């Protein structure tokens, strides 16, 4: 049985699992909903970091060393900016610039982000449906002890060092899901919360009322982005600590407890299985570290098989 799946994702870890799912599911059975609250303007261009990471990963052109940006990138633009004394805190590769410039041109002509994303997927050979969470402007604001920062400045320029007090998703109250998002969720057999940062990658998606409404009564599976108390990439574990929560796979499960039916944890966290199952969540314990495309495919297949077998058991007399 091929499940119809909607994957919610933010950056690198989520993009890897989305690629694994794209390897094991027919293109028409997978939709990927991507966080856009990290989007910002830089050098007059609309930058969509998470969308681009997902797009490049699914197209097979992402930088394998960083997980973000394009493979075989050149950096003459940034070298010249540095020579001129301009801001260099956020790197933009020369090929990457073309994506931002074309996106900005089309947005300024009145086209929607979702329509532009669909065309870029087609141009780069991405066959699964990639959907921004919304076409409305939503921005993650990080409230720190030192004042408010836009997310990219907090994360990239200040290296996630300021002490976080809370996050706000400005604009989410009025935002509607992008075309196709609620339809994909309602048609799905399974919604997957990819191993992305709960606070700033997935929570922004979930902050949109129309998406939350569509999720009612859906089977939801989460994959922990924290292994052995540490985040594979990004500041997720650090954010849990600043919230006064011991970072762990169990803490991630608890973060989504009211929504999850299934949760996937790494073998290093097998001792947490019982406590997570006590939350009323079915747990799959496996190797969740995705070092290559084979790992992505294996994990995606294990997830699909786990949910399929669980569904069969539920239907058994």
Domains, the chain, with CATH or none:
5-40+127-145+169-315 (3.40.50.10680)
Give how far Cα 313 sits from Cα of 35, 61, 73, 263, Å: 34, 40, 49, 17
Q: Write down the pLDDT at residue 59.
A: 97
- Chain-centre distance of CA 139, in angstroms? 15
pLDDT value of residue 315: 57
For residue 9, the number of C-alpha atoms closer than 13 Å in the C-beta half-sphere is 31
User: What predicted TM-score, i.e. pTM, was given to this entire model?
Assistant: 0.95
pLDDT tens figures, 155-165: 999 988 898 88
Residue 243: the pLDDT is 72
Task: Give dist(CA 61, CA 73) in Å, integer.
Answer: 10
Comparing CA positions, the residue from 177, 255, 248 lying closest to residue 220 is 255
Q: In the chain, which stretches have pLDDT less than 50?
A: 316-317
Strands 262-266 and 220-223: parallel
């Amino acid at each position: 049985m091929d499940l119809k799946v909607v994957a919610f994702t933010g950056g690198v870890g989520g993009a890897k699992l989305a690629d694994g799912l794209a390897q094991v599911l027919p293109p028409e059975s997978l939709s990927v909903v991507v966080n856009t609250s990290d989007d910002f303007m830089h050098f007059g261009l609309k930058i969509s970091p998470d969308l681009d990471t997902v797009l490049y990963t699914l197209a097979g052109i992402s930088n394998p060393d960083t997980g973000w940006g394009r493979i075989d990138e050149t950096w003459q633009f940034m070298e010249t900016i540095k020579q001129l004394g301009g801001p260099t805190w956020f790197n933009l590769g020369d090929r990457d610039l073309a994506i931002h410039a074309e996106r900005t041109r089309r947005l300024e002509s009145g086209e929607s982000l979702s329509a532009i994303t669909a065309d870029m997927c087609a141009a780069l050979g991405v066959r699964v449906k990639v959907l921004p969470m919304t076409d409305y402007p939503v921005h993650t604001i990080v409230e720190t002890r030192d004042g408010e920062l836009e997310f990219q400045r907090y994360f990239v320029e200040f290296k996630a060092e300021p002490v976080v007090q809370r996050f706000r998703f400005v604009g989410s109250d009025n935002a509607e899901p992008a075309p196709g998002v609620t339809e994909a969720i309602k048609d799905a057999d399974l919604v997957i919360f990819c191993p992305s940062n709960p606070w700033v990658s997935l929570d922004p998606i979930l902050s949109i009322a129309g998406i939350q409404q569509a999720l009612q009564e859906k089977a939801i599976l989460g994959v922990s982005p924290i292994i052995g108390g540490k985040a594979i990439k990004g500041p997720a574990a650090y954010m849990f600590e600043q919230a006064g929560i011991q970072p762990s796979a169990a803490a991630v499960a608890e973060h989504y407890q009211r929504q999850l039916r299934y949760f996937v944890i790494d073998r290093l966290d097998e001792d947490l299985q019982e406590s997570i199952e006590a939350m009323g969540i079915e747990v799959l314990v496996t190797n969740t570290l995705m070092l290559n495309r084979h790992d992505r495919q294996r994990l995606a297949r294990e997830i699909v098989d786990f949910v399929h077998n669980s569904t069969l058991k539920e239907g058994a007399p």
